[in-house]
Amino acid sequence: MVVTPDFKPLKATEPLSPLLLPNQPRPPLKQRSTGSFSHISDFSLDSPHPEDEVIDPIEKLEKLKHVDLSLDATEWRQPVFKTKILSLLRKLRIPKWNSPLLKPASIHLQKVSGACTNAVFFVSFNPSPTPTTPNFSPLLTPKIPPADPTLPISEKVIPMTLLLRVYGPSSGALISRTEELRILTVLSQQYHLGPKVYGTFLNGRIEQFFPSRALSPAELRDPFISTCIAKRMRELHSVDLGLLGFDSEDSMIWRFLREWLELAEATLTKLEGINEEWKAYVQTFHLDNLRKEMEQYRQFIRGKGPTHVVFAHNDMQHGNVLELEAELVPVGMPKHHRYIAIDFEYAAPGTRGYDIANHFHEWQANYHHPTHSWSLIPHAPYPTLDERRTFYRAYLDDTREEALDQLESEVKMWSPASSAFWALWGIISAEDHVHSLSLGEEREKEVDFDSLSYAQERVSMFRRDARELGAISN
């Protein structure tokens, strides 16, 4: 039997982020007329338009600034990419980026490595008249080029650094972008948590940048940081689901698994039809058995009784936890408020056991590894019992053994679901790659993340953990 957590939902007036206190409300987004453009000829570097009326983004989310443009993230090293970005920022009227004095060379571009679902970039101002070469940034710490001392620039006119997110080619099948934007808007405007969204385009969005850095894989194991993450997760789990627009009383993991299984089967069917080699590879997934095993596991969970549903992040990996610069945390704020969660793409009603189990699996990941970014095996071990209990104490704010044992039981019970979720995600994420192979096209574009190998490993992890629970037969 799963025990209902004994904490109440936070009110929307209770800040979860030190970036914005209740007595310092963030200005509402501004609605302006936007033109549509989809061809390179439409990427005009025109002058900005006058400001329009101010609207409430919570009530009129559908009026969030938008342009009908798609960016090809594989062009990021080419000069045309900066041209498109600058035109996009002007069309969206991003403050200071809409100056007619700016040129594509005014953009300093860095790609954030380790992002799996999307291509993420820092868009910073280049104070030098000499163009910079786009490069990688392994952490969320963009390095700004030095200014030219002969060309002094007032800080008042320097455009702010932005986060450019280009959605992955197959992510539309995995993620409801409308739902994600609703969550981001409510968390940002009502709970003062998460980035402001400045505008969207057909396959991405422009977000506020927090001066911060992402955690390294090893830092998840740091006892102090781990307890901070636990407290942050507890706060997220206290967010009012109704305010976010959810009315589900059940974990949405079952809906994800049901819908994604169909998509995964379609992708693997296409893959095995390419040739005998790929057919043999697909058979290693034993997909027919996987469908039965997932249903057996679901029935096993159902048999344990009702579960309490919370607002779960569902992707608390090292790259999705930021450490804010110290000066951003006001004096007197709790120390754990220096750490914030980002990327709510997979956030949904779920169980605390699932969210914590998923986080513990991420202790084994290293998405920056040069050869095995897709694997959880060669990098670091799953947290020990002592490490897990340290996390539980911080999460529960409780040291009673029975409370810690109960949460450990929930985490073990939901651990297989995490692997099932990401196994199907990996297969579906390979759809674009599989489609190219089915057309006989050679892969000219580098595959940043071997999602099929990742999926194969997570299928094995699901079966291992489910068998240990006694949820599926050998």
In the sheet where 119-125 sits, what is the strand order?
A: 66-67, 197-201, 204-208, 162-166, 119-125, 107-112, 135-137
Q: How far apart are CA 387 and CA 392, in angstroms?
A: 9
- 212 versus 321: which is more confidently predicted? 321
Amino acid 258: pLDDT: 93
- Give, rounded to a whole angstrom, the gap between the first and last alpha carbons of the chain: 25
Amino acid 432: pLDDT: 83
Q: How many CA atoms lie within 13 A of 407 on its CB side?
A: 25
Burial 424-439 (b: 16+ CB within 10 A, else e): bbbbbbbbbbbeebee
Q: Where residue 238 falls among pLDDT bands split at 50, 70, 90? A: very high
Q: How far apart are CA 163 and CA 121, in angstroms?
A: 6
For the chain, domains (ranges, CATH) are: 40-208 (3.30.200.20), 212-469 (3.90.1200.10)
Q: How many degrees, rounded to 5, is the angle at CA 432 between CA 197 and CA 123?
A: 30
Q: How far apart are CA 66 and CA 244, in angstroms?
A: 22
What is the Cα 194 distance to its own chain's centre? 11
The model's pLDDT over 2-49, given as tens digits with 9 standing for 90+, comes to 333 444 445 444 444 433 333 333 323 222 222 233 333 334 344 333
Q: What is the mean pLDDT of the chain?
A: 81
- Counting residues of the chain whose pLDDT is more than 70, the rounded percentage is 78
Amino acid 147: pLDDT: 62
What's the average model confidence in pLDDT over 223-249? 91
Q: How far apart are CA 391 and CA 336, in angstroms?
A: 13
Amino acid 43: pLDDT: 41
**HEC letters along 176-221:** CHHHHHHHHHHHHHCCCCCCCEEEEECCEEEEECCCEEECCHHHHH
